[in-house]
Amino acid sequence: MLIAANWKMFKTRAETRAFCEAFTPPEGVEVVICPPFTSLDVAVEAGLTIFAQNVHWAEEGAYTGEISAAMLKELGVAGSLVGHSERRQLFGETDEGTARRAEHALAAGLRVIACVGETDSEREAGATESVLRRQLAPLPRDPRLVVAYEPAWAIGTGKTATPAIAQEAHAYIKSLIDAPVLYGGSVKPDNAAELLAQPDVDGALVGGASLDPDSFAAICRAALIS
């Protein structure tokens, strides 16, 4: 069971250091923290498993605002998210770009959590499976690849897929790709155990609830009893 914290654009270096001092990962569950780029080294120094929130497909070059796998590895970063719904919706990232980022990171020896999921309008139109199929198709097949199903309509909205909805989507994803699948979308201490108990849910990608060490620890503990 893998529980990953995506901090998005939250926490300064001092706040990251304070979180790491207050948080102890429970034994028996794999825990990953994805802090902002400016706090990666602080989190690595704390001894936690650290992923970046994004990585570029080139080793170096004229790509203002981007970061390469080699730069991340030099800091001791173990992996990266790619294709998060906010990157797709707010910054125009594509399925093909997400796949290129994943390929570069994997080739460089990083692990990857590739995010997929449908919007509210796509779900209402009955297009969930076609969207997931499209997003998964270009992704590289690699044993270090993890998929995160994060329905965009449940990101930062307070809405959460029911355990049945999550299970159905995860089962479909696993019919298309041989990889662990995390659920992401308003995961909280009070719903984590039920979501994580689903047979095809292999962990969680946690947003806002991961910013508090006690809240995130409770979610991690839920993974142990699921």
Tell me which of 84, 86, 104, 118 is the catalytic residue. Answer: 84
Global pTM value: 0.96
Rounded Cα distance, 127 and 45, in Å: 43
Per-residue pLDDT of the chain (226 residues; tens, 9 = 90+): 999 999 999 999 999 999 999 999 999 999 999 999 999 999 999 999 999 999 999 999 999 999 999 999 999 999 999 999 999 999 999 999 999 999 999 999 999 999 999 998 898 899 999 999 999 999 999 999 999 999 987 776 767 789 999 999 999 999 999 999 999 988 999 999 999 999 999 999 999 999 999 999 999 999 998 6
- Is 150 considered catalytic here? yes
Active site residue 56: no
Number of domains in the chain: 1
Find the CATH number of the domain harbouring 35: 3.20.20.70
Its domain, for residue 131, covers 2-225
- Among candidate residues 93, 104, 150, 170, the one labeled active-site is 150
